[in-house]
Chains A and B, each alone.
Chain A
Amino acid sequence: MRFQDAARDGRAVVYAGIQAEPVVARAASLLADAGPAQRVLARAVMNGESTDPAGWMAMFPTLFGADVAAGPERARSEAILATSLEVADRGEQVRSSVRGAIVEALTAVLLERRVGTAAVRRERRILFDGVRAEIHPYDVTVERDGAAEAYDCKWGARGINPDVLHQLDDARGHAAEEDETLRVALVIFDAERSCRVRMERQTAPTAGTGLIALETLDRLASG
């Protein structure tokens, strides 16, 4: 088993531009330290129709209510709201790409806390002897001898589909055939309940694929 940079085709070049947007790194940094309610706020605002901050603050009284004192947590909520509105203000297609890039960047930030920066890579293919390489790269990989990991990241539960489940499960299986360990998982910036509903409908294999949902993102950092 070996890792390789993905081909720099047109799609990759355009997407690299999205990934490099400052708002992506800023959002990932904020969400890495956020609590569950703050992450739901980000999901709602970036999915939302309204761009009125006061309306969103009223919708989240546990984050912005009169009884929430000024301090680091409230400041983080305010920063998440401002950053999320910046994303929501984009056109629908760009917004969708930015949201995806944020989930990937957030995944990388959390993984780096556990395994260090050098081991975490983006947009990598995984090659196995005698197996045709997958066209689509893995969003985030952890590249360590004997403890490799591969993650596919999605903004919502609806992004869970047979192609991604097969790709992850195939990689895990091919690694096992080479006596390598490859942990594979989906990272979904959506509630676990929604993800489970989506996964129950799939006929593709799911047993060997982990699920990291909105409520459990911090497991990426803790293992």
Chain B
Amino acid sequence: MTDPQSISDLIERALTGYEALTALGEDIEDEWSYVNDLSAAWTDRLTAVAAARSATAASPAEIVAVDRALAEIDAITDPHRAIDWLSTFPQVVLVALREAS
């Protein structure tokens, strides 16, 4: 039997997908700095939630929600849409975890 996945583990997985999304957004050279500033701001927010809830087990619904959100960003190939999702994805994850943006 495996240990239950913690909120911290779940966010760590979310951030791995988020890094790939950031790399795709960087393809828009004029927005490179904005992309990285935006990514850093939301990474900080998600990391803070992970630290605050490191001992909390993620519920099955929360795990499914983040997995679906990760699948959504994994399907993105357009760097402009990737920039949209650099803002949207963290909001979706935070809503799933009942956390404020």
Q: Which residues of A are interface residues toward B (Cβ below 8 A)?
A: 36-37, 40-41, 43-44, 47-50, 55-56, 58-62, 65-66, 156-158, 190-194, 196-198, 200-201, 214-215
Contact = CB atoms under 8 A, between A and B. Distances in A.
B61 A61 contact: yes
B83 A59 contact: no
A40 B87 contact: no
A194 to B, nearest CB: 4
8 contacts: A48-B72, A50-B72, A58-B61, A58-B65, A60-B92, A158-B31, A190-B87, A197-B37
Contacts of B68: 55-56, 58-59
B87 A62 contact: no
A158 B84 contact: yes
B95 A197 contact: no
Given A49-B76, A59-B92, A197-B34, A191 B64 contact: no
For the residues of B in contact with A, the DSSP-based class is helix
Contacts of B101: 36, 40, 191-193, 214-215
Interface of B: 31, 33-34, 37-38, 41-42, 45, 59, 61-62, 64-65, 68-69, 71-72, 75-76, 81, 83-88, 90-92, 95-96, 98, 100-101
For the residues of A in contact with B, the DSSP-based class is helix
A158 B72 contact: no
Contacts of B61: 58, 61, 65-66
Contact of B92 (A44, A66, A194, A196): A44
Contacts of B87: 156-157, 190-191, 194
Given A59-B68, A62-B98, A43 B34 contact: no
Contact of B64 (A58, A156, A157, A201): A58
B81 A47 contact: yes
